[in-house]
Chain A
Amino acid sequence: MSQDNEKYDAIVIGGGIAGQESALNLADSDQKVLLVEKDLSFGGKMIHLSKVFPTLDCSACITTPKMSETARHPNITICTYSEFTEIEKLPDGTFTGILTRHPRYVIEKDCTGCQDCEEVCPSVVEDQYQYGMVGRKAAYVPFSIANPRIAAIDIENCILCGACERACPADAIDFTQKTEKTRVNAGSVIVATGFRLFDPAVIRKYGLGKYKNVVTSMQMERQLVPTRPFNNVLRPKDAKVPDNIAYVLCVGSRDLTIGSPVCSQVCCMYSVKQGQLLMGALPMADVTVYYLHVRAFGKGFEEFYQQSRGMGVKYVKGKVGTIEEKENGDLILRYEDIRDGSVKEETHDLVVLSVGMLPNPEAGSLFAGNALELDEFGYVRQVDMLKNPASTSIEGVFVAGTASGPMDIPDSIASSGAAAAEALSYLKRKR
């Protein structure tokens, strides 16, 4: 471990929209901030979305300038592919912990992002940033708008052929890199570790994985962006242009049978959004949404929902029981029509499961002795939700965004502002 302690006013853990917003608020108030992101790029889930409800603004167009502002801010240091753990509170009210930087096997300052290494690499694995719909190489730049936009070697899938190192014009590949650990001290901590996506493969009756034309809503987000995995919105089985698409809402939300009682708050509205985007991308397609309730609770949401109806998206109040595949890849949905209790069947050629949000369990293990308390659902516990919504069970540690519960982007940003304000006032009090 490096002997020199690094010191900051605040450490923000998680570089999604919430972490970035907290870091920028603190940095603009002259605080030195370390932003720690475990992925190869910061940006969180938002960087991978198509457009955002209810305005239909392009998600990447909003996120990339914010990412550049965060990366360029003189008061912010960003460590990607890193983790900050074993955090302890010291008697003077400050915090200490271990920053672990994982090796990319690429010298960050030398890599130009030219992707020559990627071109020659023979090893292909599922691209996690396209949610498995296409492959990527073991030597790869994570995605086109990654920040930093530099390569990494996925050593677990590397066959050690050395082609990337020979091809790199900048001599940036370095297989001798090792994990680095540094002790870091800070005046306060903001936890912005975000959410996990529910994995619908556990609900076997929906057939995700088994039936290739059953996809998740996150896969559909990727199909709707310009940097999409396919050349259009297509079925993953046979690349047919779908013309009769079904949405199944509340997959992994409000469902005690899978231990997830919470409403994910965003699935209704992102499904309404995707329905509208699909009508634009595939003007001949029918889109049917199977729902229990449409929760259009925010400003402009009801109008957005009505707009989708006006565009021709069909809404069926029905609980989907099972999905079965036909020989041609089409899917038979068997559902209970809630209006009259009858069981009906309908055939669609693509089914989208609107997956819910789950807590990220990593938030609980950041602190030594798991000192940070979680609530009954597994999110970071807000000890004073009404008066100080960002306060946690540890004074001086604050929570931002979906680490405290499901919420959309505007609410994540508002919650991050609150976390930064509370952190600032803690820092001022302790000085």
Chain B
Amino acid sequence: MDEKIPTIKEMKKSRQVPDELKARVKEYGRIKKEILKALETKRGTIPEIAASTGLRQEVVTYTLMTMRKFHEIEVEGLDDMDEYYYYRKAEV
């Protein structure tokens, strides 16, 4: 069967990727790495992950919930006070 010629090359001729967008993609990758690092050896709640990474809580919530959507994070049970869930890295 014939190999498909990538059409992305055509798009690149007429479009430039704004620097701001490149920076945003990079920043998301950085935050994701930080969260995964915090969960490398132990599970954590969002406030715990925020405290250990120095990231704002809402940034951790948004990114971690997005990672959960893409099956990179799994949910464990609630803490003793029934207030916060524990999250861990998904098993590959």
Contacts and interface: CB of A to CB of B under 8 A. Distances in A.
Nearest to B16: A160
Given A134-B66, A160-B15, A284 B82 contact: yes
B57 A165 contact: no
Contacts of A133: 62, 65
B42 interface: no
A54 interface: no
Contacts of A232: 85
A240 B84 contact: yes
Nearest to B11: A175
Contact count band on B? 35 or more
A239 B45 contact: yes
A161 B29 CA distance: 15
B38 to A, nearest CB: 14
A61 to B, nearest CB: 22
B43 to A, nearest CB: 14
Interface in B1-52: 4, 6-8, 10-12, 15, 17, 21-22, 24-25, 28-29, 45-47, 50
B75 interface: yes
A241 B84 CA distance: 6
Main secondary structure of the interface of A (DSSP, over half): loop
Interface string B45-81: 1110010000001100111111011100001001000
Nearest to B10: A176
B10 to A, nearest CB: 5
Given A119-B70, A134-B62, A171-B4, A155 B78 contact: no
B91 interface: no
B25 A159 contact: yes
A237 B10 contact: no
A29 interface: no
Contacts of B63: 135
Contacts of B64: 239
Main secondary structure of the interface of B (DSSP, over half): helix
Interface string A103-131: 00000000000000011001110000000
B50 to A, nearest CB: 8
B65 A123 contact: no
Interface in A329-379: 329
Given A134-B69, A155-B15, A232-B85, A238 B61 contact: yes
A241 B70 contact: no
A234 B2 CA distance: 50
Contact of A231 (B8, B70, B85): B85
Contacts of A237: 57-58, 61
Contacts of A284: 82
B52 to A, nearest CB: 14
A160 B84 CA distance: 38
A271 to B, nearest CB: 24
A72 interface: no
A161 B17 CA distance: 10
B85 A160 contact: no
Nearest to B73: A231
A183 to B, nearest CB: 26
Chain A CB within 10 Å, residue with most, of B22, B25, B78:
B25
B29 A122 contact: yes
B76 to A, nearest CB: 10
A105 to B, nearest CB: 8
Contacts of A119: 70
Given A123-B25, A236-B61, A162 B8 contact: yes
Interface of A: 118-119, 122-124, 133-136, 155, 157-162, 165-166, 171, 173-176, 212, 229-232, 234, 236-241, 284, 329
Interface of B: 4, 6-8, 10-12, 15, 17, 21-22, 24-25, 28-29, 45-47, 50, 57-58, 61-66, 68-70, 75, 78, 82-85
Given A165-B7, A234-B85, 6 more contacts: A134-B66, A136-B66, A157-B21, A159-B17, A234-B61, A241-B78
6 contacts: A135-B63, A159-B22, A171-B4, A229-B65, A238-B57, A239-B46
